[in-house]
């Protein structure tokens, strides 16, 4: 099916847009060293590019006083809290306390006012206090960066919408192991769950709101 027929297939059914709110936060999903270190089995060069693209996003968010939430993945040494996920993806078992690859990349260090949540599964919302925290702060929109697009980003974007927050996935600031799942999932997120926006659009939106 060509691109034109694909667009025609979705037209009129999956082409509505969600309007961003006035109380956004930024969600940085799993930008950990495991995805940026060449020796790691999870290494993905596109994630390195997404990390660099996220630097101005976070700088702008901090300038406007927007809340920033990071996630990272950690398991007990025996992986028992990883359930079927670590059985399906055994490389995740290495994400334990004290492992350098499990730490957030040095290019995007959390600041004292930022929240860092630990998760064991794909979605940043699953079995974490993220939804309650956002609700308590009056947040209505999430600017989403992180990895991988087809995994934790997609799962988080879907749950974001399902919890009543508008997901704005920043295209330049998400990455995957391969372009095909990356593009397919961005297409699907835009069609059904949220909005996929450029870094320029995201920065303009941040400049238009005041988080302080």
Q: In the chain, where are the structural domains located? A: 22-207
What is the per-residue pLDDT for 14? 80
What is the per-residue pLDDT for 1? 46
Compute the distance between CA of residue 90 and CA of residue 88 in angstroms, rounded to an integer.
6
> Which strand ranges, in their side-by-side order, compose the sheet holding 166-175?
115-119, 68-73, 24-29, 141-147, 166-175, 195-197
CB atoms within 10 A of CB 99: 15
Radius of gyration of the CA atoms of the chain, in A: 17
What is the per-residue pLDDT for 11? 76
* pTM of the entire predicted model: 0.94
Q: Which two tokens stand for residue 141?
A: 């929109």
What is the per-residue pLDDT for 41? 96
Tell me if the domain spanning 22-207 has CATH number 1.10.1200.10: no
What is the per-residue pLDDT for 3? 55
Full pLDDT tens readout for the chain, 212 residues: 455 677 777 877 687 899 999 999 999 999 999 999 999 999 999 999 999 999 999 999 999 999 999 999 999 998 999 999 999 999 999 999 999 999 999 999 999 999 999 999 999 999 999 999 999 999 999 999 999 999 999 999 999 999 999 999 999 999 999 999 999 999 999 999 999 999 999 999 999 997 66
State residue 12 phi and psi, 5-degree precision: 85, -10
* Active-site residue list: 152
């Amino acid at each position: 099916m060509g691109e034109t027929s694909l667009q025609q297939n979705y037209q009129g059914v999956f082409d509505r847009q969600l309007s961003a709110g006035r109380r956004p936060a930024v969600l940085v999903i799993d930008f950990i060293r495991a995805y940026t270190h060449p020796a790691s089995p999870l290494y993905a060069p596109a994630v390195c590019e997404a990390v660099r693209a996220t630097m101005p996003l976070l700088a702008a968010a901090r300038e406007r006083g927007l809340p920033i939430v990071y996630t990272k993945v950690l398991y007990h040494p025996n992986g028992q809290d990883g359930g079927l996920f670590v059985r399906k993806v055994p490389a995740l078992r290495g994400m334990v306390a004290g492992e350098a690859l499990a730490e957030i990349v040095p290019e995007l260090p959390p600041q004292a006012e930022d929240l860092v949540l630990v998760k064991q599964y794909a979605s940043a919302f699953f079995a974490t206090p993220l939804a309650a925290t956002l609700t308590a702060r009056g947040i209505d929109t999430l600017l989403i960066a992180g990895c991988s697009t087809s995994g934790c980003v997609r799962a988080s974007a879907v749950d974001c919408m399902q919890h009543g927050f508008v997901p704005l996935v920043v295209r330049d600031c998400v990455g995957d192991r391969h372009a095909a799942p990356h593009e397919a999932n961005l297409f699907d997120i835009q069609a059904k769950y949220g909005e996929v926006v450029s870094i320029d659009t995201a920065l303009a939106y941040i400049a238009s709101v005041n988080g302080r």
